[in-house]
Structure 1
Amino acid sequence: MYGMKLWTMRLEAGDGHAPTKNGLAWGLLVATFIDIAVDGFIIGAGFAAGGETGMILSLGLSVELLFLGLALTSESTKGWRIVAISGALAVTVLVCAVLGNILLSGASNAVIAAALAFSAAALLYLVTEELLIEAHTVEEQPIATLVLFSGFLVFWSIQLSGS
């Protein structure tokens, strides 16, 4: 997640003049497609887990996907580009959901739990880094997010070693 943030920041910076190329914000577009692929895999893992997990994840993530799709539309993205991007996003989430379900359908409960735990960490990253951006009063360095998640990992490791 940290490496993806650095990479998309570099894409958005581009040559230092504008974050867009051919009217598209490539950093945002790449980050969105990676996020959509991970979300699709999470949905597939939920269906592989059985019960209502897949349906609950599908419903919850569909709201996120709606607003993510709306965020991609800007004044510079119009007409056929919006349709093409929306279609590509839909195909990406569908393919990754099917792939996640196929790969995890015969997996053990531990593997499925690990995949869902990764998804929880990815969503936590999204909340702390993107959705709470307005709460940031000063420009923060990307290392701050790495330190935050390192703290979670250390605390989790201490809890596991004490059990």
Structure 2
Amino acid sequence: MTPFLSIAAYALLPALALTVSGVWASFYPLGRKAKSAILHFAAGVIFSVVAVEILPQVVEYHDWLLTTLGFGGAIGMMLLIRQVTEGAHQPVQSPSTNAIPITFLVLLGIDVIVDGLLLGVGFAAGAKEGKLLAYALGIESISLGLATAATLRSAGSTRGRSIGLLVGIALVFLISAIGGATLLHNLSPTGLDLVLSFGLAALLFLVTEELLQEAHLTNEPAWLTATFYVGFLLFLLLGMLV
């Protein structure tokens, strides 16, 4: 299998995970605790990949200026997106069968594009990093699919339209991942340092400001918190074995 086909195959994992989980949730909605457990686990997985695979490479480049530019640029972009789309998760008061939460879908599209590009960055950094990131984003995509299906359902979107939107979002991820890997394949060490620093900050933002915040419940049992550390340990060990 050529490197391009290999990257495309691994990019299919998150795309299929998002679609299948979203379609499942359209027919069988999960309870709050089950959804929270998945979000905690996904946060632990992504944090593990960041700490074990991406962060050491950024430190190894030892260029404080590029790291600052990439990291700061990512945080600035994510904060700007949050500011612009602040009302994306507000509940819909009068749902209708044709309702589509446009702002939420814009935010989701940007998030998916960034995730796809990050997967491309991972393969640009190395095959091992790319594979682990594909697995991590696959688990994160499960929670994303569940959240998307729930949001569309609460907005009054029909099941058929929701499934169509989920497939479209998955295709956006697939295209951005393949595009990112193609564009970044021959990137210089300087450019790769900048992009990895950007991806590092974007993933940390995703974990701390989105996944964990959405995962926390009012009365959270200990086993839900433990799923974060199970996810972290699982991919820490996987990184040692791959």
Per the normalisation by structure 1, the TM-score is: 0.71
Give me the whole-angstrom Cα distance separating, in 1, the residues matched to 2:157 and 2:115. 24
**How well do the aligned residues superpose, as a CA RMSD in angstroms?**
2.6
Match for residue 84 of structure 1? Answer: 164
The C-alpha deviation readout for 1:35-79, integer Å capped at 9, x for no partner, is: 110000011111122231111111100111111011011332332
For the pair 1:24 / 2:104, whether they are aligned, the reply is no
In the TM superposition, 1:53-68 aligns within 5 A as 53-68=129-144
Q: 1:42 aligns with which of 109, 112, 118?
A: 118
- Residue identity (%): 35
Give the superposition deviation at 1:20.
7.0
Give me the whole-angstrom Cα distance separating, in 2, the residues matched to 1:82 and 1:112. 37
Q: 1:129 aligns with which of 198, 204, 209?
A: 209
Query: RCO higher in 1 or 2 (8 Å CA, sep ≥ 6)?
Result: 2
Give me the whole-angstrom Cα distance separating, in 1, the residues matched to 2:164 and 2:121. 27
Give me the whole-angstrom Cα distance separating, in 1, the residues matched to 2:183 and 2:108. 23
Match for residue 198 of structure 2? Answer: 118
For the pair 1:2 / 2:79, whether they are aligned, the reply is yes
Give me the whole-angstrom Cα distance separating, in 1, the residues matched to 2:123 and 2:157. 34
Give me the whole-angstrom Cα distance separating, in 1, the residues matched to 2:95 and 2:109. 16
Query: How many residues matched?
Result: 135
DSSP-derived class of the 2:206 partner: helix
What are the ranges of 5 or more consecutive residues in structure 2 without an aligned counterpart?
A: 1-77, 219-242
Distance 1:107 1:126, change over 3 A: same
DSSP-derived class of the 2:127 partner: coil
Give the superposition deviation at 1:17.
7.4
Q: Is the 1:11–1:19 Cα contact (8 Å) retained in structure 2?
A: no
Give me the whole-angstrom Cα distance separating, in 2, the residues matched to 1:110 and 1:19. 51
Give me the whole-angstrom Cα distance separating, in 2, the residues matched to 1:52 and 1:19. 48
Q: Which amino acid aligns with 2:85?
A: T
Q: Which amino acid aligns with 1:67?
A: S
